[in-house]
Amino acid sequence: MIAGAAHRAAMMAVTLFGVALVVFVLLRVAPGDPIAMMIGPGASPADIVALRAHYGLDGSLPMQFAVWLGAMLHGDFGTSISLRRDVVALIGERLPATLELAFCALGVALVLGIALAVIGTLGKRRAGEAVVDGATGLLLAIPDFVWALLLVLLFGVAVPLFPMSGRVDPSLGAQFHTPFYLLEALVTGQGAAVRDAAAHLVMPVLALALPLAAIIARVLKGALDEAMVQDYVLLARVKGFSELRIVTREALRNAIGPTLALTGVQFTFLLGGTVIVERIFSFPGLGNMAIEGVINRDLPLIQGIVLTFGFLFILTNLVVDLTVVGLNPKLRHG
């Protein structure tokens, strides 16, 4: 068990190093000069050289990489060129917004996806199955950023039910002491703030959750179909249990493992999707800041954000593996 954990930790370190290397190289070979973006028209060549030295951009590439890596190991991700602030502090401010968005979307996708799969299984060979199959097909065919635009048109413009941008309404004057607005409002029981933060999340969460819900529903329904013809389901029917109970108590436990594993993989795609969806809804998260960083060729900021995403991906995979083992008694004892 301990050897396994040590092995996992070592693998995580190797993967993160790989991510760091790829990000570093890609950004250096991509066109665009961060110094050119920040200097005024009248800057002298001497100023440019001084600025390059200031941001550590004057050494050789391997040298720059080594310096950056060494600083990162001490928790120093550098200073943002465009915002002139510490990258770690910037990420610390924005990451919670993205995490709230992503986990709300994951929760909605799981609930919706599992519900659709169960309804489709209960309505096997009847209208229920056709409706569910049709709905998941539609949800799946439309990507998250198109959902975002559709939702804006529907609930932002046509029937303005939900706010279209930001995390909270500044005019409400709610004061937050942590960057987790929704969580903090929930914990401290500020009803108005909860409603406001939740309302701001509805559309971006749906845009991210709908395609994932469809994938979960598809895969889980397939697994449930397989489970529902097993002998233990027949025996449960002879015991006189209702179909709903059989699906949820007998079949779901055996069917959900592969679905959760896939959900984990898909969650990393959802994290990637937050970048564009945050942009559409002007949601002050990490993704939105990443786009600003790219526009400004803000190398330290981009590197920091990409590494943060990479770390989240690796962490997600770890959690998924542990969950799958935890759910399957055969693996748990093995």
Partner 1 sequence: MSEPRLLSIEGLSAVSDRDNGAPILRDVSLAVAPGEIHGLVGESGAGKSTIARAILGMTPRTVRITQGAIILGNTELLSLDARQLRRLLGAEVALIPQDPLTALNPSRRIEAQMTDGLRMWKGHSAKSARERALTLLDEVQMREPERVMRCYPHELSGGMRQRVLIAAAFALEPKLVIADEPTTALDVTVQKQILKLIRAMQARHKTGAIFVTHDLGVVAQICDRVTLLYQGKVMEHGLTADLLLKPRHAYTKALVRATPRYDRPVDGLIPVPDAVIAACRAEIAGFDGATHG
Q: Where on the chain is the footprint of partner 1 (CB under 8 A)?
A: 230-232, 234-242, 250, 253-254, 327-330, 333
Spatial contact of 151 and 203, defined as CB atoms under 8 Å apart? yes
C-alpha–C-alpha distance, residues 233 and 193, integer Å: 46
Shortest Å distance, C-beta 256 to partner 1:
9
Spatial contact of 316 and 53, defined as CB atoms under 8 Å apart? no
Is the Cα torsion angle 123, 124, 127, 133 positive or negative in sign? positive
Closer residue to partner 1 in complex, CB, 135/219: 219
C-alpha–C-alpha distance, residues 5 and 15, integer Å: 15
Shortest Å distance, C-beta 120 to partner 1:
18
Torsion angle of the four alpha carbons 147, 209, 259, 232, in this order, in degrees rounded to the nearest 10 = -100
Shortest Å distance, C-beta 226 to partner 1:
12
Shortest Å distance, C-beta 332 to partner 1:
9
Shortest Å distance, C-beta 149 to partner 1:
42
Shortest Å distance, C-beta 250 to partner 1:
6
DSSP labels, 308-332? HHHHHHHHHHHHHHHHHHHH-HHHH
Shortest Å distance, C-beta 199 to partner 1:
39
Shortest Å distance, C-beta 324 to partner 1:
12
Closer residue to partner 1 in complex, CB, 26/235: 235
Closer residue to partner 1 in complex, CB, 120/285: 120
Closer residue to partner 1 in complex, CB, 117/236: 236
Closer residue to partner 1 in complex, CB, 36/331: 331
Closest CA to 13 of 307, 328, 267: 307
Closer residue to partner 1 in complex, CB, 233/290: 233
How many CB atoms within 10 Å of residue 307? Answer: 19
β partners of residue 79: 86
- CA distances to 141, 201, 330 from 175, rounded to whole Å, are 40, 18, 49
Closer residue to partner 1 in complex, CB, 41/231: 231
DSSP-based three-state secondary structure for 79: strand
Closer residue to partner 1 in complex, CB, 254/323: 254
**Please, which contacts does 288-296 make with residues 24 or more away whose CB atoms are closer than 8 Å?**
288/94, 289/90, 289/94, 292/82, 293/80, 293/82, 296/34, 296/37, 296/38, 296/81, 296/82
